[in-house]
């Protein structure tokens, strides 16, 4: 742990870097955590790795050893200068100075799959926590041609993402993740594994994209809209929540649908399986 701490401090001092809290900059200084992220990512020479928020390049250094190519997407110009100088001799790295949320990842992947000897694409990142959810939603909703997403995020968010629908941490996003991925916890990470220390405990999770989604729907967006509406008023019964948010045209209509699907009229948002929500989506279409 000491060497990575020393290395990080040296780079920060050399470039006069003060971590920018607004950009979620918490730099990893724990070797064991780096090793575990790399191991869980399961990288080989025909992989393209897209790293979001490389920062000073701590994970990047390991990624370029293992992967065919690494594309880093970093918003902070100061980090770009460091990355360019640090990896000047590496042939298999491309550094992009942009907000990851505005990058056309589909286009980037298509281009690289055509030009390089790339078979699989994997996302690896210690994410900026202020935009964890938008980034993960983008990675899933853009329907990217990727194998897996291995990311460090806040433990509280991680617990909700990797929960199985119906568990105690279930939220609307649990269903989205479950629809697209098989998920697993890699490890919990204590605050002192970073400088500066974040205010929250962290967790590394791995999301493996399913080849086939768990339910088949022409337009899954409708199902996700229903789930979101149900969870917006999660203390109410599903019937009331979906009537109040006008998913059901009326309470009578809602009751009819619940009865048809053999669902109790007092059921709540988190009691439904993804199959139940898919059936409701089919009924209201
Ligand atoms: N990977 C480094 C590490 O593990 O030490 C740094 C991780 S730090 C938690 C998050 C990184 O994401 C920072 O370098 C930050 O500048 C970058 N970042 C923040 N917002 C971003 C955005 N919208 N697009 C791309 N990178 C972003």
Q: What is the mean pLDDT of residues 251-272?
A: 96
What is the CA(83)–ligand 1 centre distance, in A? 12
- Centroid of ligand 1 to alpha carbon of 279 (angstroms): 40
- pTM of the predicted structure, to 2 decimals: 0.94
Q: What's the chain's Rg over C-alpha atoms?
A: 21
Contact 100, 135 (CB under 8 A): yes
CA dihedral 203, 206, 209, 212 (to 10 degrees): -90
Of 148, 146, 78, 162, residue with least CA distance to 113: 146
Q: What token pair was written down for 219?
A: 């337009």
In which band, very low, low, confident or very high, does the pLDDT at 244 lie, cut at 50, 70 and 90? very high
Query: Does ligand 1 have an atom closer than 6 angstroms to the CB of 104?
Result: no
Q: Which CATH number fits domain 220-284: 1.10.8.100, 1.20.1050.10, 3.30.420.40, 1.10.40.30?
A: 1.10.8.100
Coil, strand, or helix at residue 205? Answer: strand
Pocket lining: 99 vs ligand 1, CB cutoff 6 Å: yes
Distance in Å, CA 127 to ligand 1 centroid: 6
Tell me what pLDDT residue 168 has: 84
Q: Which of 17, 22, 34, 53 to mutate to test the pocket of ligand 1 (most atoms within 8 A of CB)?
A: 53
d(CA 43, CA 115): 19
Q: What is the pLDDT of residue 11?
A: 97
What is the CA(52)–ligand 1 centre distance, in A? Answer: 7
Give me the pLDDT at residue 167, please: 84
Cβ within 8 Å of residue 24, ≥6 positions away:
53, 127, 128, 129, 130, 131
C-beta 54 within 6 A of ligand 1: yes
Cβ neighbors of 249 (< 8 A, separation 6 or more) are none
Cis status, amide bond into 96, omega within 30 of 0: no
SS3 state at 265: coil
Hey, whose CA ends up nearest to atom 17 of ligand 1? 53
User: Residue holding tokens 């790795």?
Assistant: 49
Structure-token pair, residue 202: 């962290």
CATH 1.10.8.100 residue ranges of the chain are 220-284
Residue 166 binned pLDDT confidence (cut-offs 50, 70, 90): confident
Phi/psi zone of residue 180: left (φ > 0), alpha (ψ -120 to 50 degrees), beta?
Answer: alpha
Q: Tell me what the pLDDT averaged over the chain comes to.
A: 95
Return the CATH fold of 4-209.
Rossmann fold (3.40.50)
Query: Which residue's CA is minimally distant from atom 22 of ligand 1?
Result: 99
Range(s) for CATH 3.40.50.150 in the chain?
A: 4-209
Structure tokens given for 71: 């594309």
Q: How many CB atoms sit inside 10 A of residue 278's CB?
A: 22
pLDDT at 2 over 70: no
């Amino acid at each position: 742990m000491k060497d990575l701490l020393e290395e990080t401090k040296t780079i920060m001092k050399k470039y006069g870097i003060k971590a920018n809290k607004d950009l979620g900059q918490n730099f990893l200084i724990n070797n064991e955590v780096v090793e575990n992220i790399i191991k869980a990512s399961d990288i080989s020479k025909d992989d393209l790795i897209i790293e979001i928020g490389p920062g000073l390049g701590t994970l990047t250094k390991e990624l370029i050893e293992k992967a065919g190519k690494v594309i880093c997407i970093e918003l902070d110009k100061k980090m770009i200068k460091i990355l360019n100088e640090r990896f000047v001799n590496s042939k298999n790295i491309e550094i992009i100075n942009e907000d990851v949320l505005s990058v056309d990842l589909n286009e980037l992947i298509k281009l690289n799959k055509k030009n390089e000897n790339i078979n699989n694409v994997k996302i690896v990142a210690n994410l900026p926590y202020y935009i964890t959810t938008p980034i993960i939603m983008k990675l899933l909703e853009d329907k990217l041609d990727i194998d897996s997403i291995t990311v460090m995020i806040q433990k509280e968010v991680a617990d909700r993402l990797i929960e199985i629908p119906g568990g105690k941490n279930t939220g609307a996003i649990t269903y989205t993740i479950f629809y697209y991925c098989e998920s697993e916890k890699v490890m919990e990470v204590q605050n002192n594994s970073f400088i500066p220390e974040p205010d929250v405990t962290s967790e590394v999770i791995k999301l493996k994209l399913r080849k086939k989604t768990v339910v088949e729907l022409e337009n899954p967006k409708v199902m996700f809209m229903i789930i979101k509406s149900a969870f917006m008023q999660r203390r109410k019964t599903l019937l009331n929540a979906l009537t109040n948010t006008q998913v059901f045209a009326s309470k009578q209509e809602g009751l009819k649908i619940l009865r048809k699907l053999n669902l109790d009229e007092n059921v709540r948002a988190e009691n439904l399986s993804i199959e139940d929500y898919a059936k409701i989506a089919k009924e209201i279409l």
